[in-house]
């Protein structure tokens, strides 16, 4: 645990307040950590994934002796320390060994504690630079596409889907600029093996890692073509990186911790109308449940105010002042009627 810092000036206080828990959370920051050995492949993979994750990504330059799945090591403590220090809640640890070549471990944190982990092995990797095509703009939100029924049924793939959505696209946003949609991350699986299709107890129990289908991660840029309707036709161009992954070890989320993590803020109806915990000025919901707005108008220039039109008030030449009332009545068609009313 980090020592508690008492803010000594306003800037530090602001920075500390920004790290406090919020009802509507900021995007998750990911830290890219190199293990003791990372080959050329893993370095490239992590660089490309970082390019996709930017600007919410931090890269550690040096190698670190972390083995997240090794319970006897102090890796969990290291991860928790880094999470607190960097205000990050996602880690991508790359480590290649003889037994598990090209291993990538996704670690998700909750409250600076490890929530769950997935290890995948990279089987095939084509770097982003090998595709001579336009790339996505950093900071633009990707679309996420998943294809296979296992993403809805198999616990390992449900976890993978949740992790990848959290990694690339976890932030809740209110609106999106439609022309800004530029790329898609597509994750699809190899055909489901027969052992996973037969839903007997024996097979679900003994799903070894080898029987799980491969995961294909592809990234495409989207080109909008006019289709004659409001919805444009999308043309996808491979952008890279493209990865073929196999699932390896995993650690499911602890039930108590997950329950805590899945808690939603209890938003009052008034808060929902006020903009989901975000401050919206000059709007309030009154006791009757009606939305009331407050409008600020500029100061009125009373000099230009149009009052009742009268000849006598008109700024004209001097002869106007000299003329008497009877003469005016004859000229103006409206005046006699008003006189009738007065009488």
Judged by CB under 8 A, the number of residues near other proteins is 73
Q: Mark residues 265-304: x for contact with other proteins by CB under 8 A, - for none.
A: x---------------------------------------
Q: How far is the CB of 218 from other proteins (least distance, A)?
A: 5
Closer residue to other proteins in complex, CB, 64/162: 162
Residue selected from 10, 262, 295, 310 as contacting other proteins according to rule CB under 8 A: 262
Q: Does 315 bind other proteins (CB under 8 A)?
A: no
Residue selected from 57, 109, 118, 212 as contacting other proteins according to rule CB under 8 A: 109
Q: Does 58 bind other proteins (CB under 8 A)?
A: no
DSSP assignment of 204-245? HHT--GGGSPPEEEEEEEEEEE--SSSSPEEEEEE-S-EEEE
Residue among 91, 99, 136 at smallest CA distance from 121 = 99
Q: Does 201 bind other proteins (CB under 8 A)?
A: no
Cα-Cα-Cα-Cα dihedral sign, residues 179, 185, 191, 197: negative
Q: Does 81 bind other proteins (CB under 8 A)?
A: no
Neighbour tally for 202: CB within 10 Å: 8
Q: Does 332 bind other proteins (CB under 8 A)?
A: no
Residue selected from 58, 261, 285, 335 as contacting other proteins according to rule CB under 8 A: 261
**How far apart (Å, rounded) are the C-alpha atoms in residues 167 and 189?**
19
Residue selected from 255, 295, 297, 315 as contacting other proteins according to rule CB under 8 A: 255
**Per-residue DSSP letter, 318:** T
Kind and range of the H or E run holding 246 = strand 242-251
- Look-up of token digits 């900071």: 139
**Per-residue DSSP letter, 99:** S
**Per-residue DSSP letter, 289:** S
Residue among 92, 20, 23 at smallest CA distance from 56 = 92
Q: How far is the CB of 333 from other proteins (least distance, A)?
A: 48
Residue selected from 55, 139, 179, 293 as contacting other proteins according to rule CB under 8 A: 179
Residue selected from 6, 11, 99, 263 as contacting other proteins according to rule CB under 8 A: 263
Q: Does 100 bind other proteins (CB under 8 A)?
A: no
The answer to whether the beta carbons of residues 41 and 94 sit under 8 Å apart is no
Which parts of 123-142 interact with other proteins (CB under 8 A)?
141-142
Q: Does 222 bind other proteins (CB under 8 A)?
A: yes
């Amino acid at each position: 645990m980090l020592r508690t810092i008492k803010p000594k000036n306003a800037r530090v206080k602001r920075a500390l307040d920004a790290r406090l828990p919020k009802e509507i959370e900021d995007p998750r920051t990911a830290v890219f950590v190199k293990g003791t050995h990372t080959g050329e492949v893993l370095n490239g993979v992590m660089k490309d994934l970082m390019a996709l994750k930017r600007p919410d990504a931090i890269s550690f330059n040096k190698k670190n002796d972390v083995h997240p799945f090794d319970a006897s090591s102090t890796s969990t403590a290291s991860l928790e320390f880094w999470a607190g220090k960097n205000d990050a809640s996602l880690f991508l640890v790359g480590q290649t060994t003889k037994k598990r070549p090209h291993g990538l471990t996704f670690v998700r944190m909750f409250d600076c504690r490890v929530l769950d982990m997935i290890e995948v092995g990279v089987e095939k990797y084509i770097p982003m630079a090998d595709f001579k095509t336009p790339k996505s703009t950093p900071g633009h939100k990707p679309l996420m596409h998943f294809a296979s029924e296992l993403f809805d049924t198999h616990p390992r793939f449900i976890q993978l889907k949740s992790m990848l959505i959290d990694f690339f696209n976890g932030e809740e946003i209110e609106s999106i600029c439609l022309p800004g949609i530029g790329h898609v991350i597509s994750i699809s699986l190899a055909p489901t093996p027969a052992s996973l299709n037969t839903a007997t107890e024996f097979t679900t129990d003994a799903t070894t890692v080898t029987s799980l289908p491969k995961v294909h991660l592809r990234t495409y840029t989207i080109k909008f073509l006019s289709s004659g309707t409001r919805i444009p036709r999308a043309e996808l161009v491979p952008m890279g990186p493209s990865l073929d992954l196999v699932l390896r070890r995993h650690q499911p989320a602890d039930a108590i911790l997950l329950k805590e993590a899945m808690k939603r803020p209890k938003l009052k109806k008034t808060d929902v109308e006020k903009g989901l915990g975000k401050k919206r000025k000059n709007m309030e919901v009154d006791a009757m449940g009606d939305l009331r707005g407050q409008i600020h108008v500029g100061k009125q220039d009373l000099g230009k105010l149009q009052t009742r039109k009268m000849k006598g008030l008109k700024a004209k030449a001097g002869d106007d002042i000299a003329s008497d009332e009877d003469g005016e009545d004859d000229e103006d068609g409206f005046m006699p009627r008003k006189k009738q009313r007065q009488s």
